[in-house]
A and B are shown apart, each in its own frame.
Chain A
C-alpha cells in the first residue's frame, strides 16, 4: 500500500509498459522456422478447388470422394455431439452486471467463427462494459456485436437514460429507442427468432448518440446496421449486425445472419 498520489499520465503508463517488455531471443526466429518446417500446413477443400485445373479428372474424383468422406465423418461427429448424453461443448460464461448470463455457439457456429477470424473480443471484465462479444472479419468494416443494453452503467445510445436491469424489450423499444432522434427513426422492423426466442429487428441508419461523452457516442451501431432485440430469460440482449457502409452491410448480411443463427443462449438470470 502506498498513500502517495500516483498520477497516471500517458507518459508514465508508457514507461511502465516499456518496463514490462523484453526483446526476443536471437535464436527465436530460427526456432520458429525449424518448427514450421516440421509442421504441415492446413488445407481446405476450396483451396483444392482453386487448384482443380491442375488436377487430372481422376485426381478431382479422388479429392471429391475424400471430401465427401471427411464431411460424412464431420456430420457423424456433429450428430454424436448433439445426441443426448453426448459430449457437451464447453460454454463461454460471462457475468453481465452481476447477472449470470451464459451463451455458447453451436458446432457450426464455431466453424463459422474460425472462418470469420474467431471471436475478436469476448469481454472478461464486465463491471462497466455491456458488450458480450464482437465477431467479424477482422477489418473493422463489418461485424456482429452482442450486448446487453439495459442495466448498463453506460447509457448507450438510449437518450442518456440509464435503463434498469429489469427493463423489457418493449421498454427498450418504446421508451428509449423510438424517441431517439439523432440515430433517426427506425425505418423498418421485423419479427424473427434467434435461438428460438422471439426477437424484433430494427434497421439503424448511420448516426450518432446524443451523449456528451465521446466514448459513449458510438456503442451498438454507429454505422448502418440491424439491431435485433430479444429477451433471454428476463435479460434484454441486443444483437447488432453492422457494416461500415450500406453496401458493405448488404454484402455482409447473409453471412452475418447465418452466424447469428448459430448463437445459443444458455440462460439469463436464475
Chain B
C-alpha cells in the first residue's frame, strides 16, 4: 500500500521517537512541518479561522501529551489525522446549537468569470456546511490536498474500496445539498 503523503520529511521517524521521550525540540520540528497543512484542513472543514486555530492547537497539545502512548510510531500521521478529525467533529457538533456559517468569503483564485464563480462559491459553500464532518474531511483531503484514494484509505484505516465508496457518497451528498440550495 502507498505511504501517506504530505508532510513527512527526512528525520521524521527520529523526531517522533525523540518527542515521545519528551524532547521538545523534536516535537517542534514535527509541528513545524505539519502545522500549515493541519490548519488548512481544519479551516476548510470548519470554515472558521478561530475555530480552526483552537482545534489545531488542541490537537498538537494532545499529540504531545499522548505521544508516549502511541504504540506504532510510524503511524504518527494517521494518528494525528484521526485526532484532527475527531476535534473538528466535536466543534461542528457544538456549533449545531448556535450555527455560524461563514459565507461570502471570496475565493483566493476566482478565475475569469468572477461574478458567476463567487455566486456559485456561495452556493457550494452553503451546501458544504450541511455535510457531516466525515464527508467534509474526505472532500478536503481528496479535492483540496489531492490525497489519492489509496492514501486516504490508509489514513482512515479502511479498505481502499471503502474509501472510494465513501468519497463518492460525500460527493453525492454535496451535490444533493447543492441541488437543495438552488
Taking beta carbons and an 8 Å cutoff, which residues of A are in contact with B? 1-4, 6, 8, 10, 12-25, 28-29, 31-33, 35-37, 39-44, 47, 115, 117-118, 120-121, 123-125, 127-129, 131, 134-143, 145, 154, 214-219, 222-223, 242, 244
Contact check, B49 vs A22: say whether CB atoms are below 8 A apart: yes
| A33 in complex: contacting residue of B27, B79, B156, CB < 8 Å | B27
| Interchain CA distance A242-B155 in the complex, whole Å | 16
Given contacts A16-B128, A33-B24, A138-B78, contact A124 B107 (CB under 8 A): no
30 cross-chain CB contacts under 8 A: A3-B182, A15-B111, A16-B120, A17-B144, A18-B44, A19-B121, A20-B47, A20-B125, A24-B53, A25-B53, A28-B56, A33-B27, A33-B28, A35-B61, A41-B20, A118-B82, A121-B158, A124-B133, A125-B131, A125-B134, A129-B166, A137-B72, A138-B155, A140-B159, A143-B157, A143-B159, A217-B161, A218-B160, A222-B162, A242-B159
Q: Tell me the dominant secondary structure on chain A's binding face.
A: loop
- In the complex, chain A residues whose CB is within 8 Å of the CB of B157: 117, 120, 134-143
Contact check, B158 vs A15: say whether CB atoms are below 8 A apart: no
Contact check, B169 vs A140: say whether CB atoms are below 8 A apart: no
Contact check, B61 vs A36: say whether CB atoms are below 8 A apart: yes
| B107 in complex: contacting residue of A4, A16, A32, A41, CB < 8 Å | A16
- In the complex, chain A residues whose CB is within 8 Å of the CB of B69: 42-44, 47
Contact check, B133 vs A19: say whether CB atoms are below 8 A apart: no
New contact pairs (5) apart from A15-B107, A25-B53, CB-CB < 8 Å: A21-B108, A39-B64, A40-B65, A120-B158, A215-B165
**Contact digits for B134-178, partner A, Cβ 8 Å, 1 yes 0 no:** 110001100110000000011111111110111111001111001
A-B contacts at CB below 8 angstroms, number: 233
Q: Tell me the dominant secondary structure on chain B's binding face.
A: helix
Shortest distance between the CB of A267 and any CB in chain B (Å): 22
Please name the residue on chain A nearest to B39 by beta carbon: A24
Q: Does B97 make an interface contact (CB < 8 A)?
A: no
6 tightest Cβ-Cβ pairs between the two chains A and B: A218-B161, A136-B157, A215-B165, A19-B107, A124-B132, A215-B168
- In the complex, chain A residues whose CB is within 8 Å of the CB of B28: 29, 33
Please name the residue on chain B nearest to A116 by beta carbon: B157
- In the complex, chain B residues whose CB is within 8 Å of the CB of A19: 105-108, 121, 125
Q: Does B43 make an interface contact (CB < 8 A)?
A: yes
Contact check, B178 vs A42: say whether CB atoms are below 8 A apart: no
